[in-house]
Amino acid sequence: MLNAPTRSFIDPRICEQARLTRDARFDGLFFTAVRSTGIYCRPICPAPTAKSRNVEYFANAAAAASAGYRPCLRCRPEAAPGTPLTRARSDLVAAALRLIDAGALDDGSVTKLARRIGVGERHLRRLFVTELGTGPLEIAATRRLLFAKKLLTETALPITHVAHAAGYASLRRFNAAFLAGYHRAPRAVRRDRQHAPTNTLTLRLPYRAPYDFAALLAFFARRAIPGIEEVDAQCYTRRFGSGASAGILRVTQLRNEPALALSVDCPDTTQLQALCARVRRMFDLDADIAAINTQLRTHPALRALVRRHPGQRLPGGWDGFEIAVRAVLGQQISVAAARTFALRMVERFGMPAHTHTGEPVRLFPAAQTIADADLTQIGLPRARASALNGLARAMCDGSVSFRPEQSLDQFVASWVELPGIGDWTAHYMAMRALSHPDAFPAADLVLRKAVTPDGSLAPLRQLRALAEHWRPWRAYAVMHLWRSMS
């Protein structure tokens, strides 16, 4: 059986076989470029198969674009599953990619990007070329272009709004970039698809099968805060926003294709790309699930669990501060009790807002609000209320953060300095808020029971040693083990 590559380098022999068989497991893991046409495609492209002597392979769309190829209009590279961050060989490049995905180069420079991750600009460029085949600016430019094409193809959003939503400073720059990238004007692509105007935009968010959407919905349903989140057997709904304006998003699973549908009423379309990235992380859509399962099922403690639930994903969180607060609220109490406290906090301290239809909502309170709030009013013990006040103040002064460039060790080390935040809480936050695949809350009692045949409490040292075999996917092992005890 063909195994998908898990690193940024690619084996032409594997790519050739995947291309000739149109193997969907490789969709988004590499791109095929045809010299005779000047076009790059997904390995599943339905176009007639090109002769091998005319083909070269690239690990990502930006590298193909940098080599002078333009995206295929038939297989639509913008519709491919995202490239897993784990395919970067170094933590530095992975951190830079997370920042780029958050829009760091939409209005910033490579110099500032390099400074944020603690290296020189030349060194960062050299790492990118070595590991990804192209530079940071090229990665960001391709990201903007493909997202713009996605909006043009899948929505009726006006072209000016498309340009701003994709991160272009002006319509002129967008038109020039699109013409250079596709050899067609944006309006020509828009004429190919007709959409009825609507306040709701619906975008397709692809993933790699297998994908257990039902398990994610069940996880979110147990923790949903009424008024902010609604979860049923088919859909996740959330109110979001800042200030007085709120948007609504809904996530469902598409039938007969490996993708979720994101429907969104968004008051600020310039936030669309960041919103899509947030939902992709929350629903773990870019995971290299084949690599994860291959690693975990080599261990006897996980083999049967992976076989039973091969589509298990890592449930992320909408907002880092919200996850941090809820993690502290949930210490030593049930999930249901923690949700009750979260609801009281929203009702007492939440930010009032309205959707575009006039629906009044309350959004999760900001750190500035919680920093000096009297949380004993919602029934919290004084010690826990004080811990939450301290957490919020640390967020406000920058002592702790959810910056995506942090390593797991850096993140945990900064958070455990706060009163009321231990190793378990910090690792749980890393799992949910950063979606870190190797986060491991080892002190968890359910986890320690799940690894023993008789359900007794495994010694902490034994569990840590056992988990070394699960790196760098310990967080996925945690989800499997938690699920086995539910």
Query: Which residues does the annotation mark as catalytic?
Result: 41, 444
Region of 22 (left: φ > 0; alpha: ψ -120 to 50; beta: rest) is left
SS3 (DSSP) at 105: coil
Cα separation, 28 vs 230, in Å, equals 32
Return the C-alpha torsion angle 108, 109, 114, 115, nearest 10: -70
Alpha helices in 260-364 (DSSP H): 272-282, 289-296, 300-308, 320-329, 335-349
Specify whether the CB–CB gap between 110 and 121 falls below 8 A. yes
Q: Do β-strands 31-34 and 39-41 pair in parallel, antiparallel, or remain unpaired?
A: antiparallel
For 92, the 3-state DSSP assignment is helix
Could you tell me the CA-to-CA distances from 395 to 281, 390, 401, 421 in Å, in that order? 21, 9, 6, 13
Sequence-ordered alpha helix ranges (H) in 118-250: 121-132, 136-154, 159-165, 171-182, 186-191, 213-223
Joined tokens for residue 316:
């992320």
| Helix (H/G/I), strand (E/B), else coil: 18 | helix
End-to-end CA distance of the chain: 33
Q: What are the residues facing 204 on neighbouring strands?
A: 261
Does residue 40 come out as left (phi exceeding 0), alpha (psi in the -120 to 50 range) or beta? Answer: beta
Give how far Cα 50 sits from Cα of 16, 24, 46, 283, Å: 11, 18, 11, 35
Cα separation of 193 and 15, whole Å? Answer: 32
The backbone region for 256, taken as left when phi is positive above 0, alpha when psi lies in -120 to 50, beta otherwise, is left
Token match 């589509």: residue? Answer: 311
d(CA 80, CA 299): 31
